[in-house]
Structure 1
Amino acid sequence: MSSRFTFNATDAHIIELSKYRQIAFPKNYRKPVQIGIDIGGSLAKVVWYSQNTNSYAATGGRLNFTKFETENIDKCIEFLKEIIKKDNETINLPHRVLKATGGGAHKFNKLLNEELNVIVETEDEMECLITGLNFLVHKIPYEVFTYSESEAEPMVFEEKVIDEEELYPYILVNIGSGVSIIKVTEDGKLERIGGSSLGGGTLWGLLSLLTSAQTFDEMLELSKKGKNENVDMLVGDIYGEDYSKIGLKSSTIASSCGKIFKKKPEERKEFKEEDISRSLLYMISNNLSQIAYLMAQLHQVKRIYFGGCFIRGHPVIMNSLSFGIRFWSKGTIKALFLRHEGYLGALGAFLKHHGNIQEQELLGFSENFTKAERINTTAINAVGLIDIVPKLTYFPLILSDEYHPDTFDLSDPELQKYWIDTFDKNLHKMVDMALSWLHTHFLTNTDNSKSFEDIYRKHLQVLRREPNAYGPLSVRSLLILREQCLHEMGFGDIFEHVKQEEKRTALETLPNLLKKIDALPENEKLSVLIDNVLAGNMFDWGANEVHNMLQKGELNFDSAKIKVKKSEKYFNLNEFRESLELNQYHKAVIFVDNSGADIVLGIIPFARYLLSHNIDVILAANSLPCVNDVTYNDLISIIEQVTSFDKPINDAYNIYGKLMVYETGSGSPCLDLRNVSCDLAEACENVDLVIIEGMGRAMHTNFHAKFICDSLKLAVFKNASVAKTLGGNMYDGICLFEKGEKIIGIAKSKRSNTFNEILEAGRFSFSC
């Protein structure tokens, strides 16, 4: 028996909440909190859905993760009671269902039922593991990674989510108290092909006997400090050197704990706990990696995933598993790990509530690290919350097989330190803006600004120690994390007052500027317009040096035009001019950047010029606010004001539909073209000119992006490190024109149905 809950999309529409665009479902009812739990021999893992009460954070709810030691199941039950009690204050569900899996789902079934007053529905453990894994691999970017301490970059993430045709077949080696090896050949088709009784419980049990450590985390911490060669007998101990004939190095373990028996009983007390811990950890890991490889060979499988709470993000465990797979496969197969490794079963159980939630075309999933946790103190990776958001898709004109959004590789420790230091140093400016926003809105919860500062700085400290804890470190990820922290603490568009003032000033200036441009000889217009775009792009409150000038009132549009110089390396305007004069463009999209002078005095006159050449223009703006970037709502308001005094813009926007405004689906100063709104992707399928503007969009990201059609990148170097890395100078403006890669057969997009099509069809329901 299970409760059923249908999500009704009838009459769904977009609403505005403090400049946010969100989805409203007027026919929908309040969703009850749902819970999935996986109770293993060692740990109980919980995944639950929570309603979002913060209008600035996730729009469609959130998946949360936590864990408890199974021996302390009472603590887990008390935690679940609090979740249910809080939810019952707003919705009283008489027959609440809790989905449970793992051995403890049967062992503690009666206890859970009585203590929580719920109906406990047990789900098959293997099915839940695979359901959870498939969801994460298909839906969550940077979920999967490889690890090897022997490589320059130990932690390497899979860049994209995996399609079904790429995923199968695979095996999952799930290492809990014991070990199960599951072969999956297609969605829903799985088979347990092997396992071992030597797993996490074995290590935990032996170390409980042999060391003073009380918890598994303490045991892992001991192993991190240990030297297994003090306990293990190595090949070198037997041969005195490598056994090269059969490919064994002198450091290879010949016998786990093999040096202990040589010692007299009274001497065995001299062995250190940390050395014993390291030895036993290697013993379990090496054994499992060999079994996994043999199973993969037997079943002709190339993808081997390791999961389960034995791994716990511990670098020594992952390195030993990776070494074993690499050694036995002679480098042809890599061990694959998941950041949410310990929650596969609990997530799978949770998804049984919601049926095909992961197949719903309207839904997207975005990881949020504001409340991220590492499963233990030694873990190099963290588990984030999963926000349920509107569906995003690939931009149809990128060369998708080659596309990577980030320009800079922050695997270099010096670059990591520079950028983390930069964000840390500038944090007080964001706090000041947040306080100004509170005062503007007559809000008194100023403690939130301190909380924002503390939480973001705490994340920066984590990233100093483990740069890849939240996925591959990049300028983009640092900016996204900052915005997530702001929104989580209840802050909306903190630059709203700045943008309003700059917009007002720019709109007052625009009519005279347009008259001057219209009076220019035709052969001079484009050059002046590009100069204006670059001057407008200087008005960027997100750039530290410019922020200081703007705050002191030292920058205006005229002085910006003087300050910006043409880049010697990245300025080929004449090539763009020649292509434009051939009248080969019919439709352009411009990914816009800042509000105020940037959009009003730079982009709008440039778009107006393209319209005069009979080119349809799409202006693509952020869906959500970040720094002083113009948002979709802001841009609609600006265009409507411009139509009141400029006939060409009015005709193109209101009469002929040649000027269009779309939202990107983003809330970041950077631009990831793998994730844009479905409506924008569809509108751009016949675009033949892509224009990307701004340092975040065209320098931090997309500087090396290649497109099927022609492209133009416009931006100003406003960071000394970026300028130096790319071979430019501070305040150089780039006008980088590139011909398209018109290759037949390129997969244009991974587009799903558009938002409106989904709503019209009413195809959005899931069961609870």
Structure 2
Amino acid sequence: MSVQFEFELNNPRTHQLIIEVQDLFIYFSYYYPNNSQFKLDLYQFNIHEESSIFDKLKVILNSQNSICIKILNSFQGSFYEQVSSWITSNFPNVQLIERKFDVSNIKLGLTFIQNELKYDTFPDKFMLVTIDNSINFYNISIANDSAQLVFTNEISPETIIAIASMHEKNLNFEQFIQDSKNGNKDNLDLLVRDIFGESSTTAKLHGHITAASFGKVNNIKNKSSLKLEDIGSSLIFIQCINLSQLAVLNSNLYDIKSIVYSGWFANKFSYIANMIEIGTTFWSASTMQARVIPITQWVQSLGLLNEE
């Protein structure tokens, strides 16, 4: 799978390529000087099949006359060594620069999104939540030029896909997530009304609130009758609720009032973005602003390409 975004840059810059790997995805971000276009290419691959990465790199590098490559710190340990060694061995004329997680890159990337996509000004201080194979929470202070990783949650969209794959062997995960929009989690989740009844006010909670995810499943005799879209609906709901709750809790620790969410899980599916925003409003009692902005997987890449 390959998803591409293209933008026109006002000021032509050195021909550059950014490579960033985040588990199931590799991001190639590069600038074409001939037509002043900036392309973001999201390429899905298996992290255990490195040959697919090298094949993709070979196609890109063979098509370029002159290029500067910057590798973000998503490459770690031996895998980074493999990739950098392969590039320098096969393309000795390529300039290779390793870059670390840097708030200045985030700042430049956000500026690009703000200017090119006509977004409102970003706050000087916010919680950046990156939703990928793991979910990372960063305390970002633009004013102080600092980016601090404050929390990591290993229960992620990849967890949802893995669980669904146990139910459906040949799972198309994008189609699965899209179909889950029309699923009914109430067929699987135990609700407050299932415990206290529709008219009871004993619990002082709305009847539609989830009391236990998959709480009804043990009482379903024929497990094969479970619908995949209902499973997805329940998994995605609890992911969004937990994700937004953790974002609010961590933001409270650092007196942060703005939360920026990024990652394909929220960017690609508008109903999920809406669910995350609603969850943030609920857990913060409407005291925090949530924003899911597009293409922020590449925020650092955008910054690197636009840096002076």
Residues 127 and 109 (structure 1), Cα distance of their counterparts in 2 relative to 1, 3 Å cut = farther
Deviations 1:363-393 (A, max 9, x none): xxxxxxxxxxxxxxxxxxxxxxxxxxxxxxx
1:64 equivalent to 2:39? Answer yes
Task: Kindly indicate whether the alpha-carbon contact (under 8 Å) linking 1:235 and 1:248 is maintained by their aligned counterparts in 2.
Answer: yes
Task: Kindly indicate whether the alpha-carbon contact (under 8 Å) linking 1:38 and 1:345 is maintained by their aligned counterparts in 2.
Answer: no
Give the structure 2 partner of residue 343 of structure 1. 298
1:315 equivalent to 2:270? Answer yes
Which structure 2 residues correspond to residues 459-474 of structure 1 after superposition, within 5 A?
A: none
Identity %: 21
Task: Kindly indicate whether the alpha-carbon contact (under 8 Å) linking 2:17 and 2:29 is maintained by their aligned counterparts in 1.
Answer: yes
Alpha-carbon separation, structure 1, partners of 2:55 and 2:104: 24
Task: Kindly indicate whether the alpha-carbon contact (under 8 Å) linking 1:33 and 1:87 is maintained by their aligned counterparts in 2.
Answer: no
Task: Kindly indicate whether the alpha-carbon contact (under 8 Å) linking 2:267 and 2:273 is maintained by their aligned counterparts in 1.
Answer: no
Task: Letter of the 1:97 partner, please give it.
Answer: I
Give the structure 1 partner of residue 72 of structure 2. 100
Instruction: Specify the SS of the correspondent of 2:267.
Output: coil
Q: Which residue of 279, 282, 287 corresponds with 2:234?
A: 279
Instruction: Specify the SS of the correspondent of 2:266.
Output: coil
Residues 98 and 191 (structure 1), Cα distance of their counterparts in 2 relative to 1, 3 Å cut = closer
Task: Kindly indicate whether the alpha-carbon contact (under 8 Å) linking 1:109 and 1:120 is maintained by their aligned counterparts in 2.
Answer: no
Task: Letter of the 2:219 partner, please give it.
Answer: K
Q: CA deviation at 1:290?
A: 0.5
Figure out how many residues of one structure are paired with residues of the other and give that number.
292
Q: Which residue of 301, 318, 333 corresponds with 2:256?
A: 301
Q: Structure 2 stretches of 5 or more lacking a match?
A: 1-9
Give the structure 2 partner of residue 140 of structure 1. 116
Q: CA deviation at 1:243?
A: 7.1
Q: CA deviation at 1:335?
A: 1.9
Deviations 1:236-281 (A, max 9, x none): 21122377677632222111111112223xx111111111111111
Q: CA deviation at 1:211?
A: 2.5
Instruction: Specify the SS of the correspondent of 2:268.
Output: coil
1:172 equivalent to 2:128? Answer yes
1:269 equivalent to 2:244? Answer no
Residues 276 and 242 (structure 1), Cα distance of their counterparts in 2 relative to 1, 3 Å cut = farther
Q: CA deviation at 1:198?
A: 0.8
Alpha-carbon separation, structure 2, partners of 1:74 and 1:220: 28
Which structure 2 residues correspond to residues 552-571 of structure 1 after superposition, within 5 A?
A: none
Alpha-carbon separation, structure 2, partners of 1:312 and 1:75: 25
Please, what TM-score do these two structures have when normalized by structure 2? Answer: 0.82
Alpha-carbon separation, structure 1, partners of 2:112 and 2:204: 37
Deviations 1:593-629 (A, max 9, x none): xxxxxxxxxxxxxxxxxxxxxxxxxxxxxxxxxxxxx
Task: Kindly indicate whether the alpha-carbon contact (under 8 Å) linking 2:112 and 2:302 is maintained by their aligned counterparts in 1.
Answer: no
Q: Which residue of 76, 82, 87 corresponds with 1:110?
A: 82
Which structure 2 residues correspond to residues 512-551 of structure 1 after superposition, within 5 A?
A: none
Deviations 1:102-152 (A, max 9, x none): 146862442354155245433334648734653345433344xxxxxxxxx
Which structure 2 residues correspond to residues 709-720 of structure 1 after superposition, within 5 A?
A: none
Alpha-carbon separation, structure 2, partners of 1:259 and 1:108: 45
Q: Which residue of 140, 143, 146 corresponds with 1:189?
A: 146
Greater relative contact order (CA < 8 Å, ≥ 6 in sequence): 2
1:324 equivalent to 2:304? Answer no
Alpha-carbon separation, structure 2, partners of 1:347 and 1:119: 18
Give the structure 1 partner of residue 63 of structure 2. 86
Q: Which residue of 163, 166, 172 corresponds with 1:206?
A: 163
Q: CA deviation at 1:285?
A: 1.3
Q: Structure 1 stretches of 5 or more lacking a match?
A: 1-22, 54-60, 144-160, 356-765
Which structure 2 residues correspond to residues 3-152 of structure 1 after superposition, within 5 A?
A: 32-53=14-35, 61-71=36-46, 74-88=51-65, 91=66, 96-103=68-75, 107-111=79-83, 113-114=85-86, 117=91, 118=94, 120-125=96-101, 127=103, 130-131=106-107, 133-143=109-119
Asked which structure has the greater CA Rg, the reply is: 1
Alpha-carbon separation, structure 2, partners of 1:128 and 1:208: 39
Q: CA deviation at 1:75?
A: 4.5
Task: Kindly indicate whether the alpha-carbon contact (under 8 Å) linking 2:15 and 2:31 is maintained by their aligned counterparts in 1.
Answer: yes
Task: Letter of the 1:251 partner, please give it.
Answer: H
Alpha-carbon separation, structure 2, partners of 1:299 and 1:242: 41
Please, what TM-score do these two structures have when normalized by structure 1? Answer: 0.35
Deviations 1:403-424 (A, max 9, x none): xxxxxxxxxxxxxxxxxxxxxx
Residues 184 and 336 (structure 1), Cα distance of their counterparts in 2 relative to 1, 3 Å cut = same
Task: Kindly indicate whether the alpha-carbon contact (under 8 Å) linking 1:106 and 1:122 is maintained by their aligned counterparts in 2.
Answer: no
Alpha-carbon separation, structure 1, partners of 2:263 and 2:75: 14
Q: CA deviation at 1:34?
A: 0.6
Q: Which residue of 231, 241, 254 corresponds with 2:188?
A: 231
Alpha-carbon separation, structure 2, partners of 1:276 and 1:64: 36
Deviations 1:415-461 (A, max 9, x none): xxxxxxxxxxxxxxxxxxxxxxxxxxxxxxxxxxxxxxxxxxxxxxx
Which structure 2 residues correspond to residues 679-698 of structure 1 after superposition, within 5 A?
A: none
Q: CA deviation at 1:184?
A: 1.3
Structure 1 vs Structure 2 CA RMSD: 2.9
Alpha-carbon separation, structure 1, partners of 2:77 and 2:56: 17
Q: CA deviation at 1:51?
A: 1.1
Residues 34 and 262 (structure 1), Cα distance of their counterparts in 2 relative to 1, 3 Å cut = same
Task: Letter of the 2:287 partner, please give it.
Answer: T
Give the structure 2 partner of residue 585 of structure 1. none
Alpha-carbon separation, structure 1, partners of 2:21 and 2:216: 37
Instruction: Specify the SS of the correspondent of 1:101.
Output: coil
1:251 equivalent to 2:199? Answer no
Higher percent of residues as strand:
2
Which structure 2 residues correspond to residues 324-403 of structure 1 after superposition, within 5 A?
A: 324-348=279-303, 350-351=304-305, 354-355=306-307
Q: CA deviation at 1:323?
A: 1.8
Task: Kindly indicate whether the alpha-carbon contact (under 8 Å) linking 1:105 and 1:122 is maintained by their aligned counterparts in 2.
Answer: no
Task: Kindly indicate whether the alpha-carbon contact (under 8 Å) linking 1:129 and 1:344 is maintained by their aligned counterparts in 2.
Answer: yes
Q: CA deviation at 1:31?
A: 5.9
Alpha-carbon separation, structure 1, partners of 2:52 and 2:259: 34
Alpha-carbon separation, structure 1, partners of 2:200 and 2:150: 34
Q: CA deviation at 1:234?
A: 1.4
Task: Letter of the 2:83 partner, please give it.
Answer: L
Residues 64 and 257 (structure 1), Cα distance of their counterparts in 2 relative to 1, 3 Å cut = same
Task: Kindly indicate whether the alpha-carbon contact (under 8 Å) linking 2:263 and 2:295 is maintained by their aligned counterparts in 1.
Answer: no
Residues 80 and 291 (structure 1), Cα distance of their counterparts in 2 relative to 1, 3 Å cut = same
